[in-house]
Amino acid sequence: MDSRERSLVVVSAGLQQPSSTRLLADRLAAATGAALADAGVPLRVETIELRDHAQDLVNHLLTGFPSPKLEAALRSVVDADGLIAVTPIFSASYSGLFKLFFDVLERDRLDGMPVLIGATGGTPRHSLALEHAVRPLLAYLNAAVVPTAVYAASEDWGQSERPADDSLGDRIERAAGELVRAMAVRERVATVDGFAEPVPFDQLLRSGSGD
């Protein structure tokens, strides 16, 4: 494995198939991969579809024990260098399935984790659910949520997989850049061993940005 490789876990709580939530999650992951590739850093992406864990999540809440499959998914999140978490908006908030997943994560497990949050909804009027619901949830878990949250309403998607609205594409790129920088900062903070050779990652990021 390339020692520069970084890991990203993408959590998507969409219910439909195909899912617009998954589509947004994939776009955010691709933009993050592209931003890291510019700096010469390979990215390993694992996507967790919460609909595949729905029964296990309820059972975990009822019994206190995760199934092996759910435990592996939870471990992937905790071990990742960065997280993208995307939910459909239900009743002006995150979906119950999305909340269940974070309910079964122990509180300190996301400490300092760089997280990019996103949501999809039927109406553009509910975009602030990201700020009044999703961001506080992740902040409560002590995650380092990047400033740009990305919301896509039905009208943002055209006939193709590309957003119809260019500003959505711009927000995706901006948020992905913020996530990559947050991942680099976390690495720098974690490398407190004075004898260790620090920061190859953010040096690479700087060299990638051309300054």
Ligand X SMILES: Cc1cc2nc3c(=O)[nH]c(=O)nc-3n(C[C@H](O)[C@H](O)[C@H](O)COP(=O)(O)O)c2cc1C
Q: Which among 102-110, 121-129, 179-187, 201-209 is the span making contact with ligand X, rule CB under 6 A?
A: 121-129
DSSP 158-169: -SSSSBSSHHHH
d(Cα 139, Cα 130) in Å, to the nearest integer? 12
φ, ψ (nearest 5 deg) of residue 119: -155, 155
User: What is the contact mask toward ligand X in residues 46 to 85, using x (rule: CB under 6 A)?
Assistant: ----------------------------------------
| H helix runs in 64-114, sequence order | 68-79, 96-103
Element (H, E) at 117: strand 114-121
121 counts as binding ligand X under rule CB under 6 A: yes
20 counts as binding ligand X under rule CB under 6 A: yes
**Closest CB to ligand X among 128 and 190?**
128
Residue written as tokens 């993408």?
10
Choose, by CB under 6 A, the member of 58, 61, 72, 92 that binds ligand X: 92
> Which residues 155-174 are close enough to bind ligand X by CB under 6 A?
none
Tell me which residues touch ligand X (CB under 6 A): 14-16, 19-22, 88-92, 120-123, 126
